[in-house]
Structure 1
Amino acid sequence: MRTPSLTTTAPARFLLLGDSHAGPIGQAARAAGLPFLGGPIGAGREFTDRFFTVRDTPTAANDIVFHSAEAEDHYRRFLKELEVGGLAEVGIPLVATFGFCAHFVALRENWDLYRDSSGAVPPAFLASPLFGAVVRAAVRDALAFYRYGVGLGLRVLAVMPPQRVPGQSDHAVFMAAQEHIRLAVEDLGVEVVDLRPRTTGPDGLQRPALCEADDEIHGNLAFGRIVLAELLDRGL
């Protein structure tokens, strides 16, 4: 996980909260001299289910508490830098990567029950309501996080991950799962940053020039720059 970043003295353009996939975005913003706050605050598997609680008391309304002490510490520092008391007061766009760790959802052993005689998970099952329900249940708190942010009136953007499938994950399940996640997040009113047409080859996987070296799942600085350019095109 790359270290979260604090902004310069210029006003932050956005708050970045995410897993390790947020790292290249923050690196690209720093390299471009673009003021922002945030970065990765934990591993992807930590931000799917039961990772936060809504805090709504007379003295601390419209905010969240991360269950991970490390994530909570980073988050509080970001709010302090922004001089606000909670998420509802952030006042700048929120960019997040939570919930898009489809390689965890797609771990091969999770889907052995559904394989056919060829050893593959049938396309019909991957397109079924049952599969969609299982995937949404696996990332339910990530969806709840996005729902809460949108409900506060924040502009929320979710960045899809690099198209990289590690050996322990099922390729077909990965592709189908992230599509269900994308649709579920979009249905909440979140702007999904989907750069697949610009970052993948004919096989649908991340182009090698945009992959972190000696790493199975992450994008590199060049990938982060493409994400940052898209965010700027969207007015951030």
Structure 2
Amino acid sequence: MGRAARAADLPFAGGPIGSGRDFLGPFCAPGGTDGTDVTFRDTEADRLYREALDALDVRALGALPVPLVCTFGLSLHTVATRQNWDVHRDPGGDLPEAFLRGPLFAALVTAYVRGALAFYDRALSLGLRVLAPLPPQRVPPMSDARVFTAAQEVVRTALAARGVEIVDLRARVTDASGLQRRAFSQADDPIHGNLAFGRLVVRALLDRGL
């Protein structure tokens, strides 16, 4: 996203402040003397966050003058790590469809990304407009593709119910298998999208008035 915005000479502030897996469980706490900010538990993440605020000449999350585009909680290949779900497999080693669609699975995924959901709750409570682009539809060998898809639906539903605007490009970037087409995948990288994918995300954000 950031590379695509820079390539198009579009103004933005922010960017990655860590690995996606670091923003699933609790990773920040309320902050600010007036309660309108957050403090990231990781020192480097908090430093990068402060730099992004400085670029916009504001001192707190609640003072952002622009919509917040955020992908916290959407590192779903991490949630879908195969070993996480071995205890739930049937004797043949498969995960029953009823389990993937059931309340226990939804509760487990929600607990896994509880830190991200708390951050979205915080941002929305401060009156921010929040948009969340769904991740590249790529599943590395360490992850279970069916869990990835099912977990994504749980998180997407939870975010939409909160009022987060979902930017969903799946119909444009996936093939018949539901996975990311090579034209939108970063070469020699099992999880990220490429510049062409980033451009589609930026265009979708612009279409939403950003």
Please name the residue that 1:53 is paired with.
29
Contact 2:32/2:60 (8 A) holds in 1: no
Q: Which residue of 2 aligns with 1:206?
A: 180
Structure 2 equivalent of residue 68 of structure 1: 42
Question: Residue 17 of structure 2 aligns to which amino acid in structure 1?
Answer: I
What residue number does 2:73 align with? 99
SS of corresponding position for 1:40: coil
Q: How many residues align?
A: 210
Task: State the SS of the aligned residue for 1:229.
Answer: helix
Once residues 71 and 186 of structure 1 are traced to their aligned partners in structure 2, the CA distance between those partners, rounded to angstroms, is 26
Any idea what the Cα deviations from partners look like across 1:208-232, whole Å, max 9, x if unmatched? 0100000100000000000001000
Unaligned runs of 5+ in 1: 1-24
Q: State the match for 1:37 in structure 2.
A: 13
More strand as a share of residues: 1
- State the match for 1:223 in structure 2: 197
**Identity rate of aligned residues, in percent?**
56
* In 1, Cα distance between equivalents of 2:55 and 2:14: 10
Aligned equivalent of 1:147: 121
Distance between the aligned counterparts of 1:176 and 1:224, measured in 2?
24
CA distance in 2: counterparts of 1:154 and 1:228, whole angstroms: 19
Per the alignment, in what secondary structure is the counterpart of residue 116 of structure 2?
Answer: helix
Q: Which residue of 2 aligns with 1:192?
A: 166
Task: Report the residue type matching 1:163 in the other structure.
Answer: Q
Deviations 1:111-167 (A, max 9, x none): 111111221111100000010000000000100111111111111001110000000
The 1-side partners of 2:117 and 2:83 are apart by: 24
Report the TM-score, using the length of structure 1 for normalisation. 0.87
Structure 2 gaps of 5+ residues are none
Supply the distance in 1 between the matched residues of 2:74 and 2:52 (Cα, whole angstroms): 22
1:39 match: secondary structure: coil
Moved over 6 A (4+): none
Equivalent of 1:232 in 199, 206, 209: 206
Which whole-Å CA distance do the structure 2 matches of 1:128 and 1:71 have between them? 35
For residues 6 and 33 of structure 2, the distance between their equivalents in structure 1, rounded to whole angstroms, comes to 36
Root-mean-square deviation over aligned CA pairs: 0.8
Equivalent position of 1:123 in the other structure: 97
Distance 1:39 1:98 in 2: 12
